Structure 1
Amino acid sequence: MLLLALDTATPAVTVALHDGDKVIAESRQVDARRHGELLLPAVDRVLGEAGRKLDAVTDIVVGVGPGPYTGLRVGIVTAATFGAALGVPVRGLCSLDGLAYAAGQAGLEGEFVVATDARRKEVYWARYADARTRVTEPSVDRPGDLTEKLAGLTVVGAGAVLYADSFTDVRADMPEHQSAGALASLAAERLRTGGEFLPDQPLYLRRPDAQVPANYKVVTPK
């Protein structure tokens, strides 16, 4: 197995290679405005670091969000293109699951919440029984609306740090942004155990920021 993992659902543009036993190369750059510019060079860099060629990849996993529209589609379209060109399966994973798994690798145990920055003064979030087990569907809400609902729970991720006053126990020492290495490790584990994956379709959870104005007038020649 040579699994290529990538994720652009958060400000992190992150890519990793996993050989079925361990992560053998990883790249991560945090820049919310340059997903399209940074992703392909990151793939080349990771392949070069591992001494592998793209045609050696047997599986592709991509974080499908939730995340902002523009950044998220960069990763998903790239993964789909690689999959079609190589003739290999493309499997989706919830990006929040990757962050939860990374928190588990960093030593977090028990029940907790992952929250990422959704912009518009909102967070994408989900609740976990442990680092491998999500118990709620991904959602998007204002942090203040979650204060009572998540009272007493540990919260990790960039959304938790950004809106720390809205949560009881923010673990700023835990990963804030996605790690393709953690996503790849989670995917490899699920492949070994027959775990489930998502379609390689984006979890937007809301409409894109850019929309046609409601009072837009179509002008046609007479």
Structure 2
Amino acid sequence: MNLVAIETATSACAVAVRTRGGDEFIRVFDEERRHNEVLSEAIAQLLDEAAIGVREVDRVIVDRGPGLYTGLRVGLATAIALAQGIGADLVAVTSLETLAWGAFSAGVRGRLVACVDARRGEIFTQLFELGDGAEQNSAPRVARARNVVIEWATNGAPVTFSGDGVERYLSDFAAVPNGVIHHQAVPSIRAALSMGARRVVEGAVVPLYLREADAVANFTTRERPQ
């Protein structure tokens, strides 16, 4: 299949194209708040480099979160519009599972805690067991970064941490006994391609927010009576 993958869950924006012959073309932009400006242009450029017409795309893969609210909205809207416009399949992956599969592909094994920065001292996080693949050992959740650090410091079991949520609070996570940092700030767009190629089309793709949008939360805070 000719695949297009879109990743906008974090402050970085990534786009990838994989041809039916297996060639891959990737762009990563670390340009927060400019996802809407760079995304469509990047897709067009990669398709041109891959010598694929837009109507030759068989499947569009999108990260549905959890992640930063505005980025997710842009990525999902772009993916849905593209897939519907050309009649391609649309499938979704999550930012946390792409982090886990990215770590697995890099050779990490054992317990892995995937963490995406949620701002305001919080992270989106999920536990995986990396063995023959990346098995989900918990549901995705939002938590205070400090509480996750304390939880694993108390647990004492060997564990690997990965994601931009780890990088944001690096000194805290690095101090966890038996903890190892796998530096991977952006969910793996290559993992998204591989997972998306195998994923069954299940209908409508909905965002995985886990928490109300920062804009809504900030507005509510400002409007709260003193």
TM-score, with normalisation over the residues of structure 1? 0.86
| Matched-pair identity in % | 33
Are the equivalent residues in 2 in contact too, given 1:23–1:181 (CA < 8 A)? Answer: no
Distance 2:151 2:221 in 1: 35
Distance 1:30 1:215 in 2: 30
Of 159, 166, 173, the residue aligned with 2:165 is 159
Q: Residue 149 of structure 1 corresponds to which residue in structure 2? A: 151
Distance 1:75 1:128 in 2: 25
Are the equivalent residues in 2 in contact too, given 1:160–1:170 (CA < 8 A)? Answer: no
The alignment covers a number of residue pairs equal to 211
Cα distance 1:156–1:21, how it changes in 2: closer, same or farther (>3 A)?
Answer: farther
Q: Deviations over 1:60-85 (max 9, x none)?
A: 11000001211111000101001111
Q: Residue 181 of structure 2 corresponds to which residue in structure 1? A: 171
- Aligned-pair Cα RMSD in Å: 2.2
Aligned-pair distance for 1:181?
Answer: 2.1
Are the equivalent residues in 2 in contact too, given 1:124–1:139 (CA < 8 A)? Answer: yes
Are the equivalent residues in 2 in contact too, given 1:79–1:90 (CA < 8 A)? Answer: yes
Q: Residue 100 of structure 1 corresponds to which residue in structure 2? A: 100
Distance 1:115 1:197 in 2: 26
Aligned partner letter, 1:26: I
Distance 2:222 2:193 in 1: 45
Are the equivalent residues in 2 in contact too, given 1:23–1:185 (CA < 8 A)? Answer: no
Q: Deviations over 1:154-197 (max 9, x none)?
A: 1011111221233322425x321123222101222x24xx6x87
Distance 1:214 1:28 in 2: 34
Moved over 3 A (4+): 19-23, 196-199, 212-216
Local SS of the residue matching 1:73: helix
Aligned-pair distance for 1:132?
Answer: 2.4
Q: Residue 220 of structure 1 corresponds to which residue in structure 2? A: none
Are the equivalent residues in 2 in contact too, given 1:17–1:24 (CA < 8 A)? Answer: yes
Corresponding position: 1:33 with 2:19: no
Cα distance 1:42–1:133, how it changes in 2: closer, same or farther (>3 A)?
Answer: same
Cα distance 1:201–1:23, how it changes in 2: closer, same or farther (>3 A)?
Answer: farther
Q: Residue 207 of structure 1 corresponds to which residue in structure 2? A: 212
TM-score, with normalisation over the residues of structure 2? 0.85
Local SS of the residue matching 1:71: helix
Distance 2:120 2:8 in 1: 18
Q: Residue 183 of structure 1 corresponds to which residue in structure 2? A: 192
Structure 2: gaps spanning 5 or more residues: none
Aligned partner letter, 2:2: L
Structure 1: gaps spanning 5 or more residues: 217-222
Local SS of the residue matching 2:211: coil
